[in-house]
Chains A and B, each alone.
Chain A
Amino acid sequence: MDKPFAITLDPGSSLANRTGSWRTLRPAYSDHLPPCNNACPTGENIQAWLYHAESGRYEDAWRALVRDNPMPAVTGRVCYHPCENACNRGRLDESVSIHAVERFLGDEAIAKGWTFEPPPQRSGKRVLVVGAGPSGLAAAYHLARFGHEVEIREAGPMAGGMMRFGIPKYRLPREVLDAEVRRIEALGVTIRLNAKVDSLLKARDEGGFDAAFVAVGAHLSKRAWVPAGEAARIMDALSVLRGVEMGEKPLLGRRVLVYGGGNTAIDVARTARRLGAEEAVIIYRRTRDRMPAHDSEVQEALDEGVMFRWLSTIKMGTDSAAGETFTIEKMALDDTGFPQPTGEFETIEADSLVLALGQEVDLSLLDDVKGLTLHNGVVKVDAHMMTDCPGIFAGGDMVPSERTVTVALGHGKKAARYIDAWLRGTRVEDTPKHSLASFERLNPWYYTDAPRTVQAELERARRESSFDEVVSGLNADNALFEARRCLSCGNCFECDNCYGVCPDNAVIKLGPGKRFSINLDYCKGCGLCAEECPCGAIDMVPESI
């Protein structure tokens, strides 16, 4: 300054002061992993597709969704939605009804005829997939998207696996399943029906396949030894369900006992009611809270008049003039929660008994594959879904894991990634997972109260007399509402709060969809932006001095 003494100085702007030098912490925008995404067995980026759905861009939402899961109309109906158990909104009021929005998008895609984008280019490699259940279908879908030629061989007359021959229509209408299977076929996947594979190696070599993915599911019903008279009508749940699907009308009679405590038992009992049984009684050794069946299904069954006998086991069935009778023994739970016999018996009459005691895997097609490790009747796979035999991958119910449609879909996706790498001789680049967007990161004050959208259910009379779908979906309006209940955990949703609350105007708004950056010349590191970010998308990180 070369002004003489006591002369008015030129006014200047404070912009010359780089007050950012006061800072010891700096804000950093970062995406964190929402708990819903983390919990989804197919690794769906739920928060990301809900983000599109929030603005009514349903096709974008669907496209983001099917990057991971090709069958949202199915999973939106039958998945047990572990995402919702993890959803942070559950800590505020009720979790976002993710499955309902997923189902809406899936149905919308079917109604609008949205199709998958064709693969960019062909790899020239051929992959054999055995089994057209969810796992095989998902693997085929992802492999086709990678550009490989895929052929599915399916033993049954129709594709879908347990989605068709297990899960009843009233939970999964067949038009929905068919539409999602057809869309995978339209991608170029060949499905050969009635084409049971007896020897995997033979099928692979004869077909000139470069790799194989086996997902034959678990179809052998476990039997329990129930001594019974000649006429006692004892069936297994899978045959009953399969029969219904094939258009048969299994003769179950007026009073049906179902033995077992899983979802299959529930489905069979509900099916029996629809087939005209006046009474369907589920006999289970433990109590309701220890039942493996999901609570919502137990509740729906109760609503339909299915009865339960807890702490009971079937002893034997005898033939009597009056009809069939079955002896039931009362059980008591010991300290470990294991049911123990009490010696108290009771006879009940019933026309039939359906066993729903779980399923085992028929592994005969792998008999000539050398060096496989089996464990409790299922095939061991490594972290890449590969069996001990190089180039043979497996997934779904036939490998050790939880047996659900979505887990099977997830296995298919994961296997496809590793099969692709295996075929190309590359390695899958595992991107490090973002750290979890826990509830504690959120500033929930900013979210308005909004009750979860309830899906309507069919009235009881029609549920007892038809296989019509029980639970209805959302419409475009309430799907929007439900999507907007999402808190966008850990991922900026452009609420402008950070831009607004910075006392130093140090947040720069980059425009719609481009989010924000920080002007470090002026950011003093107060942390207000991070503290007031509703969804916890900003971290305060120490400055390196």
Chain B
Amino acid sequence: MTVQQISFYQTGTFTVGNRLLDEAQRTVQATVARANSLTSGHRACQGCGEALGARYAMDAAMHATQRQMVVVNATGCLEVFSTPYPETSWQVPWIHSLFGNAPAVATGVAAALRVKGRQDVRVVAQGGDGGTTDIGFGCLSGMFERNDDVLYICYDNEAYMNTGVQRSSATPPAARTATTPAMGDAPGNQFGQGKFLPEIAMAHRIPYVATASVADLRDLEAKVEEAIHLRGARYIHVMVPCPLGWGAASHDTIRLARLASECGLFPIFEARNGEVADVRKIRHRVPVEDFLKPQKRFAHLFDPEPDTRRIALIQAHADRNIQRYALLP
């Protein structure tokens, strides 16, 4: 991130823009020249985190590539709400692929561009956590392992939202989904290992892996910019709360994304060639309850009585992240 000479104490670097900043320090999102890659009139729900995350990422990529890029999109909410045939919200060169093969299609596009000698055009692929961590996982791992020249961005809303909120391998423990109902002795999703794809990506020793969140736009933009300019396989995993699937108020999307990181459940870091290179420190640490409570998918952890044992397990998970990534300032 760029270091500022005078600190803007009114706003710090945390807001999208600031009238006091000079042009060079503005975010892409603060400018009227942003691409609005995902334009208005799309059919995402009120307060959709994925729509927001996708515009942030794609606008930043458009900016960084000077609009020379191709986007490959996996099936999922993002595609369905933006592209009901024959209409589209995308203002980028954009290809639809199947649910499971976006990384493979992107690899193909990158190969075609190479054959045509187009070094200037960059390839970006994107999809939800279902398409990425489950169904497209095989292709993605192949793409990583071959170090194909693609930037893959996953928007993690922690379930298969498009088809009615079914569990994915990124669904957190205890969360209620359509397939993990809040019933029985241990309501909601099981307490498993989970599948944290950024670490799996790191295990492939690819040049760049990062996590980001719609709650920290400056960080997200900086990471997209960084990743775009590298060659080889790159992966960015963005936390995008889903008001409908999480059972949260539409105005709480960004707040929840922020709480997810501030409690330690969603660590924000950057890794190069398999090693953690940088982390975003927690600013105001909060207990996991603060993140869990506003969401109906976790309501059974608090009602009729607080399920202290399982809340403690979730807290332990957050604490482990805090330790592992050294998230405290």
On A, residues with C-beta under 8 Å from B are 8-19, 22, 54-55, 445-448, 450, 480-481, 484-488, 493-497, 499-501, 503-506, 509, 512, 519, 521-522, 524-528, 530-532, 534, 540
Nearest CB of chain A from residue B83's CB, rounded to whole Å: 8
On B, residues with C-beta under 8 Å from A are 6-20, 27, 29-30, 32, 36, 38-49, 51-52, 55, 82, 85-89, 217, 243, 249-255, 258, 283-284
Q: Which 10 A-B pairs have the closest CB atoms?
A: A496-B17, A448-B12, A500-B16, A527-B251, A526-B47, A14-B41, A450-B9, A17-B41, A526-B46, A522-B40
Nearest CB of chain B from residue A289's CB, rounded to whole Å: 33
A486–B82 Cα gap in the complex (Å)?
40
A531 and B30 form a contact (CB under 8 A): no
A18 and B19 form a contact (CB under 8 A): no
- B8, B19, B86: which has the most chain A beta carbons within 10 Å? B19
A499–B87 Cα gap in the complex (Å)?
25
**A19/B41 contact (C-beta < 8 A), A14-B89, A496-B16 known:** yes
Nearest CB of chain B from residue A482's CB, rounded to whole Å: 9
B16 and A14 form a contact (CB under 8 A): no
B41 and A501 form a contact (CB under 8 A): no
8 additional A-B residue pairs with CB within 8 Å, beyond A16-B87, A448-B7: A14-B39, A17-B43, A445-B14, A480-B6, A495-B18, A495-B19, A496-B17, A531-B254
CB closest residue in chain A, given B36: A505
**A18/B41 contact (C-beta < 8 A), A501-B16, A526-B250, A527-B47 known:** yes
B48 and A503 form a contact (CB under 8 A): yes
A503–B48 Cα gap in the complex (Å)?
6
A19 CB contacts on chain B under 8 angstroms: 40-43
B20 and A447 form a contact (CB under 8 A): no
Listed by A's residue number, 27 A-B pairs whose Cβ atoms lie within 8 Å are: A8-B86, A10-B86, A11-B88, A14-B41, A14-B88, A14-B89, A18-B41, A55-B19, A448-B14, A450-B9, A481-B6, A494-B19, A495-B17, A496-B16, A497-B15, A497-B16, A503-B52, A506-B40, A522-B41, A524-B45, A526-B250, A526-B253, A528-B47, A528-B52, A531-B254, A531-B255, A532-B255
A540 CB contacts on chain B under 8 angstroms: 251
A540–B16 Cα gap in the complex (Å)?
21
CB closest residue in chain A, given B29: A500
B55 and A503 form a contact (CB under 8 A): yes
A499 CB contacts on chain B under 8 angstroms: 16-17, 29-30
A54–B14 Cα gap in the complex (Å)?
17
- A22, A488, A496: which has the most chain B beta carbons within 10 Å? A496
B15 and A485 form a contact (CB under 8 A): no
Nearest CB of chain B from residue A28's CB, rounded to whole Å: 14
B284 CB contacts on chain A under 8 angstroms: 445
**A484/B46 contact (C-beta < 8 A), A13-B41, A495-B15, A505-B55 known:** no
**A505/B52 contact (C-beta < 8 A), A14-B89, A500-B217 known:** no
Nearest CB of chain A from residue B4's CB, rounded to whole Å: 10
CB closest residue in chain A, given B283: A445
A530 CB contacts on chain B under 8 angstroms: 251
A495–B217 Cα gap in the complex (Å)?
13
A525–B252 Cα gap in the complex (Å)?
13
**A54/B10 contact (C-beta < 8 A), A15-B39, A522-B41 known:** yes
Nearest CB of chain A from residue B201's CB, rounded to whole Å: 27
**A504/B10 contact (C-beta < 8 A), A55-B19, A530-B251 known:** no
Nearest CB of chain B from residue A53's CB, rounded to whole Å: 11
A15 and B41 form a contact (CB under 8 A): yes
B55 and A12 form a contact (CB under 8 A): no
A526–B10 Cα gap in the complex (Å)?
26
A493 CB contacts on chain B under 8 angstroms: 10-11, 19
A484 and B10 form a contact (CB under 8 A): yes
B9 and A485 form a contact (CB under 8 A): yes
A494 and B14 form a contact (CB under 8 A): no
A521 CB contacts on chain B under 8 angstroms: 40
B251 and A526 form a contact (CB under 8 A): yes
Nearest CB of chain A from residue B87's CB, rounded to whole Å: 5
Contact partner of B10 (CB less than 8 A), chosen from A488, A501, A532, is: A488
**A528/B250 contact (C-beta < 8 A), A13-B39, A13-B89, A500-B29 known:** yes
A500 and B30 form a contact (CB under 8 A): yes
**A16/B10 contact (C-beta < 8 A), A494-B17, A500-B17, A503-B47 known:** no
A494–B252 Cα gap in the complex (Å)?
22
A448 and B40 form a contact (CB under 8 A): no
